[in-house]
Amino acid sequence: MGADKRRACRAAACHPWTDLADPGPPERTVRHVELKFLVPEASHDAVLHAPSIHRRDVRVRQVWFFDTPDLALRDSGLILRARRNRRGDDDAVVKLRRARPVPLPGRVRRSPNLRVELDALPGMSWWSAALGRTLAPAAIRSALRGRRPLSSLFSAEQRAFARGHADRRIDLDGLSRLGPIDVVRRRTTPGDGGPGLVVEDWTYPDGTRLVEVSARCRIDRVARIATAARHFLAERGVDPEAGQRTKTGASLEHFSGR
């Protein structure tokens, strides 16, 4: 092993997500975690061309976010998103992301459309609750072209959820359309039989790109999955001290100019 690679592997020992080793109150309320790492621009090519990335298992999507011009929903901890998928169903999601768990009404907790998990970046994590919905193939296109109201993308359940957690009254039909973002999603296939990771390449209309490495797992598997992610990043020479933010936050600020 060369000197550079040895240094990279030593850096992995203090790499991201070590704060999850001793779960605090938010972690005890969830069963699943999504580990995320936003790759610095200088390391995009190294990650996207990693030998372990599966070249055939590719998913292509387009993503839109919806918010007010001043990002009032984001500031309330709410994320509204729609995705067109080249393979599979289109979908819309309303996600509540908070620093601490929020009590949910029984009807929401019992919903088959609900997913509660921890969104974890290096050194920071958020409790999240997301209500999803499958959309008809032409629904997003029709709403974006004004043939249907924007609110039609979201179910009554989702609309009530959004309005119940917004800091102020919101007009869903008057929200700004932030997108499209072209997304290419691939998985890694480690040769040692270890857990695979997800690598997403997001491209904005002006050519700006984001690359994220992530993995979703049960809370009791965080240590194993985090180790695999640390080693993958270290082998690609990724700076473990790189500043972090979420793709969603970066995307909303990109389109709003904030």
Q: How confident is the model at residue 28 (pLDDT cuts 50, 70, 90)?
A: low
Position 18 scores a pLDDT of 62
Cβ-based neighbours of 50, under 8 Å, separated by 6 or more: 188, 199, 232, 235, 236
Beta strand 53-67 with 124-135: parallel, antiparallel or unpaired?
A: unpaired
Mean pLDDT of 12-18: 53
Higher pLDDT, 66 or 10: 66
For the stretch 56-97, pLDDT in tens is 889 999 999 999 999 999 999 999 999 999 988 999 999 999
How far is it, in rounded angstroms, from Cα 109 to Cα 162? 15
For residue 144, is pLDDT > 90? yes
- Scored b (16 or more CB within 10 A) or e, 114-150 reads bbbbbbbbbeebbbbbbbbbebeeebbeebbeeebeb
β-bridge partners, 59: 185
Contact 31, 218 (CB under 8 A): yes
For the stretch 173-190, pLDDT in tens is 999 999 999 999 999 988
Q: At 95, phi and psi to the nearest 5? A: -120, 135
Q: How confident is the model at residue 24 (pLDDT cuts 50, 70, 90)?
A: low
Q: What is the mean pLDDT of the chain?
A: 89
pTM score of the predicted model: 0.88
CA distances from 177 to 24, 170, 181, 211 (A): 36, 15, 11, 22
Position 12 scores a pLDDT of 39
Mean pLDDT of 22-43: 79
The residue assigned the tokens 């029709």 is: 142
Position 16 scores a pLDDT of 60
Position 45 scores a pLDDT of 97
Position 255 scores a pLDDT of 94
Position 19 scores a pLDDT of 59
How far is it, in rounded angstroms, from Cα 52 to Cα 55? 9
Mean pLDDT of 201-209: 97
**Which domains does the chain possess?**
3-256 (2.40.320.10)
> pLDDT > 90: what percent of the chain?
75
